Amino acid sequence: MPMANKTALITGIGGQDGAYLAQLLVSKGYKVYGTSRDAGVSRFDSLARLGIHGQVNLLSMAPNDFKSTLTAISKARPDEIYHLAGQTSVGLSFEQPSETIESITIGTLNILEALRFLGLPAKFYHASSSECFGDTGGVPADEHTSFNPVSPYAVAKSAAHWLVRNYREAHKMFAANGILFNHESELRPSRFVTQKVVQAAHRISCGSTEKLTLGDLSISRDWGWAPEYVEAMWLILQADRPDDFVIATGEANSLKDFVDQAFACFGLDWTEHVFHDDLLMRPNEIAWSQGNPEKARKILGWSAEKKMRDVVKILCGVYSDAHRSSLLKAAENM
């Protein structure tokens, strides 16, 4: 089917990945539907920042409610569904485990059941997570690595991942998992540690005397660039058959390295401004997380172009450019 004739439904379209994915699909000629729990009051700032708010059809849908899910899918009648909605914070999942399990696991189940009930041949993408692997002990995880979830978020994602595989095998559905490792952009909410670091470094470079407090700086993560990762999501649904893919850069860096790089971008020594706080330590933390994206390279032709240092430079540049623009505007108004 020509892409110009395709319809896609994106759950969680207001988030980082949903917005970038919508931008990609719109550029390919898709008719795009996006959902949130209450589309009438949601602001969708990320869509507005990307300049595509008016090019997306917005629907209200609560994935944990089957009737709501069935109604939205019936209205959109999509060729492809990208399920990105659900509680996204690992840290928050320790405080809200029930909501996390319901929004992620039950939400995924309801969409799969709605597709089966309606008999729609839509291709289904589920946003699985590298958190499912737990600590890989310095060995890059691939599609055959066993799951060892160590947070309520990871438990929920693991259950949803296996539901997708079950429906694929039992009901012959085109249902696929994208096991994405950490990926960042300027659209990330400020509660994420990468944004906390970059924003604090920028403020300090502008004269702030604040101190940035962080948890364990020794943890290592595989950080990539979000706009590249949503392209991988699309490629997964263009494959000849449904399958599961690890999406990662294949490179791990410590949070200490990330902090050092971010502060250096603003000409600062991070050791003078960053402090450790035991209260920010998670009850069960993953020490090392790294992916092996070889399968995605071979089958999808996808590989990450931007690694951690590239991501940091881009994020720091966003705030530097915004600061220069504000100074210019202030000078013009004097």
Domain boundaries, the chain: 3-184+224-247, 193-221+252-288+307-332
131 classed as catalytic: yes
Quote the pLDDT of residue 320: 78
Query: Considering 46, 93, 103, 129, which one is annotated as catalytic?
Result: 129
Quote the pLDDT of residue 327: 43
Q: Which long-range contacts (CB under 8 A, 24 or more apart) does 140-144 make?
A: 140/248, 140/250, 140/252, 140/290, 140/291, 140/292, 141/179, 141/246, 141/289, 141/290, 141/291, 141/292, 142/246, 142/291, 142/292, 142/294, 142/295, 143/179, 143/244, 143/245, 143/246, 143/295
Query: Considering 80, 131, 184, 251, which one is annotated as catalytic?
Result: 131
193-221+252-288+307-332 has which fold? UDP-galactose 4-epimerase; domain 1 (3.90.25)
For 175, the 3-state DSSP assignment is strand
Quote the pLDDT of residue 3: 64
153 classed as catalytic: yes
What are the residue ranges in the chain where pLDDT is below 70? 1-4, 280-281, 322-334
pTM of the model: 0.93
Quote the pLDDT of residue 329: 56
CA distance 176 to 241: 9
CA distance 205 to 329: 20
Burial of 111 from C-beta contacts in 10 A (0-12 / 13-18 / 19+): buried
Class of CATH domain 3-184+224-247: alpha beta
Quote the pLDDT of residue 87: 83
Those residues with Cβ within 8 angstroms of residue 51's Cβ, 6 or more apart along the chain or in another chain: none
